Structure 1
Amino acid sequence: MTRALATTVDVLVVDDNPIMRDALRGILAADDRIRVVGEAANGREALTLARDLRPAVTLLDHRMPIADGLSVVAALGQLSAVLVLTSSDDPQTIGDMLHRGARGYLVHGEFQPGDLLRAVHEVVNGRGWLSPIAASVAVSLAREQTTPRRQRPDAGLTERELQVVNLLCQGLSNAGIAQELWLTEKTVKNHLNHIFAKLGVRSRTEAIVRWTSERA
């Protein structure tokens, strides 16, 4: 669900590995706009804490005892924006997590600390964030599983918007798109807002799936 902009983003960290939880807490502490309000070691604990604490964002591991991430992501998604952090790059897992409501998906080893901080702020404001490998999987799954819609080939996008959405589908961040097209990040954000409106979507993930499905 979409959250309004807030001064501090409350985050719940869910991972069965205490070392990983410590590492994530350390990364998040570098941003004074983010506050870790709770930690859980499995999906069942995560749901209990999410109901009590109402975090803006939940960082969710996939493989955990008692209740794994996939079994609780839909319920957690009703309580906060879910950002999956896992070592799994399995296409089926990525597709299932996104389909059940995850707002973002980061694969360990495929992102830097700064990427995690940016992802937290992106998902709390209704946008998505995918590691390049997750974006690639999302595109492939859309091509394989979604029936193409009959629309104008360009969906009414301008030439510049076509360039932006194609780079988005390659997994580039706003900063990456800006660098590639020699634009400011603010201009890229404006283009993405126009693209979302024309495609009838609300997030980067939905835009990738819609755009690729219509071109399949």
Structure 2
Amino acid sequence: MTIRVLVVDDNPVVREALRGVLDLSDDVRVVGEAGNGRDALALALRHRPDVTLLDHRMPIADGLSIVDELARHTAVLALTSDATPGVIASMLRGGARGYLVHGHFDPPDLLRAVHAVAAGQGWLSPVAASVATSALREQGSRRAARDRFGLTDRERDVLDLLCDGLSNAAIADRLRLTEKTVKNHLYNIFAKLQVGSRTEAVVRWSTGTFDS
């Protein structure tokens, strides 16, 4: 069976390089390319690829903002230069089956990842797996401290996306809320965390510095 792949990256040089690697396999065929999230969704609906290679940072709509919708139509393999814990976790929570980091895999690794994801399996490059594992360990040690602030599940969702660098508008779009509702959540979050700015909230939530 031929695995049909959609390549999504805003850099045409990267897209060409990925296509060159994918063309090495007789059972993999590139059915489309996109340079932004909006075009990626349109092509995914049109071609119904088995696997989509998805970059994180792109114009118009980035990978984080579309991964959940994209994952409804295709198996998503995140392929980006970003190895920060928040981005990796958000992409995987959004529905990505795998995560590869540029500079930390070779052509055979990419082809193995594509085949694995197409078969319904997960795939993490070693650097992504290491970051994810470390993040889970840190998350466990911080959970008790975070719980004492009494944030609701929705407030935690908003704060996690704030830590990922999303604007109020992007958070609203991701969580299907109005911007006014996001602002109200942030007001409550700031009060509970005893901070006065977005930056202070991100630092306190991300680093585990919870002492007042």
| 1:146 shift after superposition | 5.3
Secondary structure in 2 matching 1:11: strand
Give me the identity figure in percent.
Answer: 65
65, 72, 78: which one pairs with 2:59? Answer: 65
Secondary structure in 1 matching 2:53: strand
Task: Find the counterpart in structure 2 of residue 150 from structure 1.
Answer: none
Task: Find the counterpart in structure 2 of residue 151 from structure 1.
Answer: none
Write the deviation string for residues 109-128 of structure 1: whole angstroms up to 9, x where unpaired.
00000000000000011111
107, 111, 116: which one pairs with 1:117? Answer: 111
Task: Find the counterpart in structure 2 of residue 52 from structure 1.
Answer: 46
| 1:90 shift after superposition | 1.1
> TM-score, normalising length from structure 2?
0.65
Contact 1:44 1:66 in 2 (8 A): yes
- Taking the aligned partners of 1:54 and 1:142, their CA distance within structure 2 comes to 33
Contact 1:14 1:46 in 2 (8 A): yes
56, 81, 88: which one pairs with 2:75? Answer: 81
- Taking the aligned partners of 1:45 and 1:128, their CA distance within structure 2 comes to 25
127, 137, 151: which one pairs with 2:131? Answer: 137
Query: Are 1:92 and 2:68 an aligned pair?
Result: no
Which letter does structure 2 place at the counterpart of 1:51?
L
Contact 1:9 1:35 in 2 (8 A): yes
Query: Are 1:24 and 2:18 an aligned pair?
Result: yes
| 1:141 shift after superposition | 2.5
> TM-score, normalising length from structure 1?
0.63
Task: Find the counterpart in structure 1 of residue 28 from structure 2.
Answer: 34
Secondary structure in 2 matching 1:16: coil
Contact 1:61 1:85 in 2 (8 A): yes
Write the deviation string for residues 119-170 of structure 1: whole angstroms up to 9, x where unpaired.
00000111111111110122122223359xxxxxxxxxxxxxxxxxxxxxxx
Task: Find the counterpart in structure 1 of residue 164 from structure 2.
Answer: none
- Taking the aligned partners of 2:77 and 2:84, their CA distance within structure 1 comes to 16
How many residues are matched?
141
Which letter does structure 2 place at the counterpart of 1:142?
L
- Taking the aligned partners of 1:57 and 1:145, their CA distance within structure 2 comes to 30
Structure 2: where are the runs of 5+ without partners?
142-212
Structure 1: where are the runs of 5+ without partners?
1-6, 148-216
Change (3 A) 1:77 1:146: farther
Task: Find the counterpart in structure 2 of residue 106 from structure 1.
Answer: 100
Secondary structure in 1 matching 2:95: coil
Show the 5 A alignment for 1:156-195.
none
Which letter does structure 2 place at the counterpart of 1:37?
V
Contact 1:95 1:137 in 2 (8 A): no
